[in-house]
């Protein structure tokens, strides 16, 4: 038998064509490694893609029969059948998805209820739907464009809140990068934070009453909703006194800004009343009303003392657990006692709460606001709720203030906190003529500072709380245009005596359910890229490579 030598066209290439396919696979692998393990797609990745393309072209030119066999013959037949089956499966899946979506059929298969409300949340939210006094609530999710996948995921949970609440809870996504004004309004500091706010009468979320959820979880979001939904009954009665400040006066020495903050921001009920209104048994005002969540009697100024009968009425109210805030009027021109420095009120305050006003005026030439008669106070108690937020951050201005004496031995069950103290260079005068003097001189007989200008006391047995402030002008409108904490301290004084600051902490809160699957796993950026490569590249493309090898070993052989 003779062997026929192959013609030049039939000679095997110097490099086997299979090597070109292997080289193309190596190029693709290099490009994928760079794409999924490096922060940016570098020149090495582009080089890998180039090697892959050139190798594929080389294989086509070196083995055209093999390339042609991919598009014809048994391989193409089986491949086309696979494509048709795949398309049919996709069409069926799309049809099933359309039916499920149209009927709003949802099943949360996650262990931690990522996409739906758990049972305790569902019961709490459902109760809001049937309560007519609870305002509508809006969830504002500040998600950036880079958080599109998380937005899609959390939309399912927000939809469940909206449906379960009967539409009382709605939601909106806001891009913090495109809405800087809203981001600042709601004190949002980073993308991914969520704000829960009640909807006002104008149909807009009320930023002043909003709750910020820093890290979204179902329990945290639900608790924020419950806090916003809470509507307590808190009342502040401002007692009308001679030469006092008016609650709705919009002038420099008025209290309209304070009143607006109480009513508009904190939803309080405020009223300016006189003694007759309070003492009338048939009147509409009931002090120590058990139906109220908190109430306080506020006395701002008063150039003349109350009668003993009036003081008896106030003392009975406080002894029964009532709350009181007193702001002292300036010293009278004739040195006669004012309401705050009169013996009847001062004796009661000193005997029952261990503090009282002194008939003087505190002056500070070194640390003052425009005039030495308006000392600037920076020595504030940082532990007491009233001044904690201001201490170290702002200052207070006390115009024509009285000093406050704290007893060395306090009454039983009573604790006193010195909230604000004047500077070390301050001193006190008792002669009202100094108010008209051209110059000030420190006399040897003058008391030297620092002086207590604000103090808070609490009787642990009766529950009564009292705040004394040395200047009736502390909450006046005139100081709100300056960077001072006057109104803040006044608001927090009212909140503290009524325990308004504790009210929201007492609202029923949902307990976080601890699950083992909630334990976080922390990885650095390199480990994250390695995980991505293993899951996205190694597993699927490894299976693809195995399939390719099976096909290669079973490909049609070129006919001799």
Q: Does 258 share its domain with 212?
A: no
**Contact (Cβ atoms closer than 8 angstroms) between residue 434 and residue 361:** yes
What's CA 141's distance to the chain center, in Å?
A: 12
What's CA 291's distance to the chain center, in Å?
A: 30
Mapping DSSP onto H, E and C, the string for 271-313 reads EEECHHHHHCCCCCCCCCCCCCCEEEEEEECCCCCCCHHHHHH
Residue at a domain's end among 506, 538, 553: 506
Q: Does 273 share its domain with 137?
A: no
So what's the pLDDT on residue 511? Answer: 53
Asked, for residue 147, whether it belongs to a domain, the answer is yes
Q: Does 212 share its domain with 245?
A: no
Q: Does 265 share its domain with 306?
A: yes
Residue at a domain's end among 229, 250, 281: 229
0.75 surpassed by pTM: no
Q: Does 211 share its domain with 326?
A: no
- The structure tokens listed for 95 are 């049809």
**Contact (Cβ atoms closer than 8 angstroms) between residue 164 and residue 129:** yes
Q: Does 211 share its domain with 239?
A: no
Q: Does 371 share its domain with 483?
A: yes
So what's the pLDDT on residue 75? Answer: 56
Q: Where are the beta strands (DSSP E) in 303-451?
A: 324-327, 355-357, 361-363, 368-369, 371-377, 379-380, 396-397, 404-406, 414-421, 427-429, 447-448
Residues spanned by the domain of 214 = 119-229
**Contact (Cβ atoms closer than 8 angstroms) between residue 89 and residue 130:** no
Return all residues near 257 (Cβ < 8 A) that are at least 6 apart: 475, 477, 480, 487
Q: Does 129 share its domain with 275?
A: no
- The structure tokens listed for 326 are 């007193």
So what's the pLDDT on residue 80? Answer: 58
Residue 408: beta bridge partners? none
Asked, for residue 543, whether it belongs to a domain, the answer is no
Q: Does 273 share its domain with 389?
A: yes
Place of tokens 């031995």: 409
Q: What is the C-alpha separation between 439 and 283, in angstroms, rounded? A: 51
Place of tokens 């951050």: 393
Asked, for residue 207, whether it belongs to a domain, the answer is yes
So what's the pLDDT on residue 113? Answer: 56
Q: What is the C-alpha separation between 540 and 184, in angstroms, rounded? A: 45
Asked, for residue 457, whether it belongs to a domain, the answer is yes
pLDDT digits (tens, 9 = 90+) for 279-305: 888 888 888 888 888 999 999 999 999
- The structure tokens listed for 224 are 């924020």
**Contact (Cβ atoms closer than 8 angstroms) between residue 55 and residue 23:** yes
Q: What is the C-alpha separation between 376 and 369, in angstroms, rounded? A: 6
Q: Does 286 share its domain with 339?
A: yes
Q: Does 223 share its domain with 325?
A: no
**CATH for 135:** 3.40.30.10
**CATH for 365:** 3.40.50.880
Asked, for residue 500, whether it belongs to a domain, the answer is yes
Tell me the helix, strand and coil percentages in the chain, rounded to 5.
40, 15, 40
Q: Does 346 share its domain with 486?
A: yes
Q: What is the C-alpha separation between 187 and 212, in angstroms, rounded? A: 8
Q: Which portions of the chain are predicted below pLDDT 50?
A: 1-3, 109, 111, 506, 514, 518, 557-560
Place of tokens 């004190």: 187
The number of domains in the chain is 2
> Could you tell me the end-to-end alpha-carbon distance of the chain, in angstroms, rounded to an integer?
17
- The structure tokens listed for 377 are 């106070």
- The structure tokens listed for 385 are 């709720």
Residue at a domain's end among 188, 206, 229: 229
Nearest to 25 by CA among 60, 51, 45, 46: 51
Return all residues near 395 (Cβ < 8 A) that are at least 6 apart: 376, 377, 378, 484, 485
So what's the pLDDT on residue 308? Answer: 95
Asked, for residue 350, whether it belongs to a domain, the answer is yes
Asked, for residue 333, whether it belongs to a domain, the answer is yes
Asked, for residue 239, whether it belongs to a domain, the answer is yes
- Stretch (H or E) spanning 521: none
Residue 327: beta bridge partners? 300, 469
């Amino acid at each position: 038998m003779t062997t026929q030598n192959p013609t030049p066209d039939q000679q095997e290439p110097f490099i086997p064509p299979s090597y070109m396919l292997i080289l193309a696979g190596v190029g693709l692998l290099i490009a994928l490694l760079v794409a999924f393990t490096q922060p940016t797609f570098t020149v090495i990745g582009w080089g890998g893609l180039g090697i892959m393309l050139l190798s594929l072209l080389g294989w086509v030119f070196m083995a055209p029969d093999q390339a042609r066999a991919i598009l014809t013959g048994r391989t193409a037949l089986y491949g086309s059948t696979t494509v048709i089956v795949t398309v049919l499966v996709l069409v069926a899946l799309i049809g099933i998805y359309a039916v499920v979506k149209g009927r709003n059929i949802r099943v949360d298969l996650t262990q931690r209820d990522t996409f739906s409300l758990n049972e305790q949340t569902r019961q709490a939210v459902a109760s809001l739907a049937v309560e007519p006094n609870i305002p509508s609530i809006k969830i504002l999710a500040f998600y950036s464009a880079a958080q599109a996948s998380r937005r899609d995921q959390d939309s399912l949970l927000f939809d469940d809140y909206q449906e379960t609440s009967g539409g009382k809870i709605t939601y909106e996504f806001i891009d913090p990068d495109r809405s800087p004004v809203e981001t600042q309004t709601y004190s949002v500091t980073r993308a991914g934070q969520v704000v829960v706010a009640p909807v006002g009468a104008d149909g807009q979320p009320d930023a002043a009453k909003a709750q910020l959820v820093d890290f979204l979880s179902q329990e945290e979001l639900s608790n924020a909703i419950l806090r916003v939904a809470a509507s307590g009954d808190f009342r502040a009665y401002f007692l009308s006194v001679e030469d006092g400040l008016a609650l709705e006066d919009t002038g420099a020495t008025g209290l309209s800004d304070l009143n607006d903050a109480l009513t508009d921001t904190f939803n309080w009920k405020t009223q300016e009343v006189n003694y007759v209104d309070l003492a009338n048994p048939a009147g509409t005002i009931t002090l120590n009303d058990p139906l109220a969540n908190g109430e306080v009697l506020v006395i701002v100024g008063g150039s003349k003392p109350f009668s003993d009968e009036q003081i008896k009425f106030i003392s009975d109210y406080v002894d029964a657990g009532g709350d009181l805030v007193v702001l002292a009027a300036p010293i009278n021109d004739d040195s006669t006692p004012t309401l705050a420095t009169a013996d009847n009120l001062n004796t009661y305050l000193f005997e029952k709460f261990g503090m009282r006003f002194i008939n003087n005026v505190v002056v500070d030439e070194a640390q003052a606001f425009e005039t030495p008669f308006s000392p600037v106070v920076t020595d504030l108690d940082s532990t007491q709720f009233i001044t904690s937020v201001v201490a170290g951050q702002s200052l207070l201005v006390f115009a024509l203030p009285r000093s406050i004496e704290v007893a060395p031995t306090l009454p039983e069950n009573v604790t006193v906190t010195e909230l604000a103290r004047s500077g070390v260079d301050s001193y006190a005068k008792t002669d009202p003529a100094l108010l008209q003097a051209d110059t000030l001189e420190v006399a040897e007989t003058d008391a030297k500072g620092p002086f207590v200008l604000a103090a808070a006391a609490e009787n642990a047995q009766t529950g009564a709380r009292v705040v004394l402030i040395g200047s009736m002008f502390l909450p006046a409108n005139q100081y709100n245009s300056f960077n001072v904490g006057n109104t803040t301290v006044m608001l927090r004084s009212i909140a503290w005596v009524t325990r308004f600051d504790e009210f929201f902490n007492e609202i029923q809160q949902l307990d976080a359910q601890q699950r083992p699957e909630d334990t976080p796993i922390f990885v650095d950026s390199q480990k994250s890229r390695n995980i991505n490569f293993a899951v996205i590249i190694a597993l699927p493309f490894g299976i693809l490579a195995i399939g390719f090898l099976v096909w290669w070993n079973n490909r049609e052989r070129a006919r001799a």
